[in-house]
A and B are shown apart, each in its own frame.
Chain A
């Protein structure tokens, strides 16, 4: 779904760039060579519509995480423009930046990195909601129960600690905490990649439910093309920092235009066409 001319896209990224100075090796230092600049995100442009799921695919090191983190300035962009509604993300600071970060929430592959192991799940959700003055926080138990219900966890989960839960449940909690602050966009960076298939499916359905029920937009970063194929409305394929192809998921996957997209699709292992490469001896 592309934003039609009369509705502004929720998020518009134009020519975004991020460069890193590579650490100098011992050899470089001995020879007094300067650090090499590496362009992790190279003039990337895209738009995200309201209620849209945009998949971001590509090999490891292609710049997906860097791009995702730039959207909320966890990584500072070096160039380009990022507009969230009518706020200029690069120019924002203080309250405006906090508000942008409230509305665009990230969910990571490893929920351990975002959940405090010493905080009960209910408290973590409540704290997040309270800081951002979310409606309903005056009744802590009801607020927590309502948010947990969004991710299909029972209210009793509030008393648990993160480490008492399975990987899939922990990822639900990470999503719940993101939802507690009332975001418009979820940025899921490999959020289901470490999970087993049967659990992964449950989480994918949850993301789609959240889009339908809350009208959330989702940027769904994953290296597994098949996962993106089934969850995203549109997909952007990244390679060496550039978006080499972007379009409706079915279009890109069934009629890839770029060689890199073709090679990614060809390498993707599939169980639907078992073809032993060696054959029986």
Chain B
């Protein structure tokens, strides 16, 4: 792999009053190579969205972040002043979310919304912005762009709206596209089209992608590397095929074992699942966050200092236990 675009080291995001702050993201480290697609997978509440937001320092109210470094092209985003941060958000990073409605203005035609991004963030004039917006609509696979240019968000299907969001997100040719559950609300067929689109744009624009999903299937289809999150921690990180085929962390393994597959149709298998439920915020103060649901856990797990250990080439796990070769 070539150079590193984004490197997050020891990220912590916490909420609450001074003396009673609890960490929602706890010592996360992560890197995204240039042109690479990295996945963040984990169940809801595991800290995926917050981790993404740290990249543009856009946290929900009350959230406070610290990190050794959040390097974007070698510059620590923590050190950016207001203007530099605005430029970073406008030019370096494009974001798309599960619900395009939250980002699209319901009162404006979608073409004008794309053109506006181009005028404000790229500095194109009115005419050039319109031409470019039309070509972006075409790029993201919207047929008859001239007609759709005039449509309002509610006149489009969910898949179309997500395409428009992508057009806006990539309008400035960002170096990093963050897609946070961007296909979760879509049909499988539309989802497959949107994932293909993201991968194609990544190749054409040469951008990197941080792809967040709770769906391991989606991650496996598109990502080069994946970070598995649980309870605010990254518990395993590595090449996607290694993680899917030879998971080393007990959580990753249990999660993969829980996922139903089409291949097992008609076999009447009953999966064990994972007993209990994920820890709530502040429930885990030390030790491994998975300890209460883990079949490999021992007392030592309640107090251990979590650290990533190399378990294969470019493959790290936060669990000291070796659980043997994968399924």
Residues on A close to B: CB < 8 A?
A: 59-60, 166, 168, 196-202, 204-205, 208, 223-227, 229-231, 248-254, 263-281
Contacts and interface: CB of A to CB of B under 8 A. Distances in A.
A157 B137 CA distance: 52
Given A198-B43, A276-B37, A276-B240, A271 B217 contact: yes
Interface stretch (B65-73, B74-82, B267-275): B267-275
A249 B265 contact: yes
A270 B1 contact: no
A265 B245 CA distance: 22
Contacts of B240: 274, 276
A269 B191 CA distance: 9
Interface string B301-317: 00000000000000000
B213 to A, nearest CB: 9
A277 B260 contact: no
Contact of B189 (A249, A251, A263, A271): A263
A273 B220 contact: yes
5 contacts: A198-B277, A229-B265, A263-B189, A269-B195, A277-B199
Contacts of B259: 197, 226, 271
Contacts of B241: 274
A254 B262 CA distance: 8
A226 B260 contact: yes
Contacts of B277: 166, 168, 198-199
Given A197-B214, A229-B264, A230-B260, 5 more contacts: A196-B278, A224-B260, A253-B262, A271-B216, A272-B244
Contacts of B43: 196-198
Interface size range on B against A: 35 or more
Contacts of A208: 270
Contact of B265 (A59, A197, A230, A279): A230
B248 to A, nearest CB: 16
Given A226-B261, A253-B265, A264-B188, A269 B221 contact: yes
B156 to A, nearest CB: 14
Interface stretch (B22-30, B142-150, B164-172, B250-258): B250-258
B203 interface: yes
A198 B255 contact: yes
A278 B271 contact: no
A201 B217 contact: no
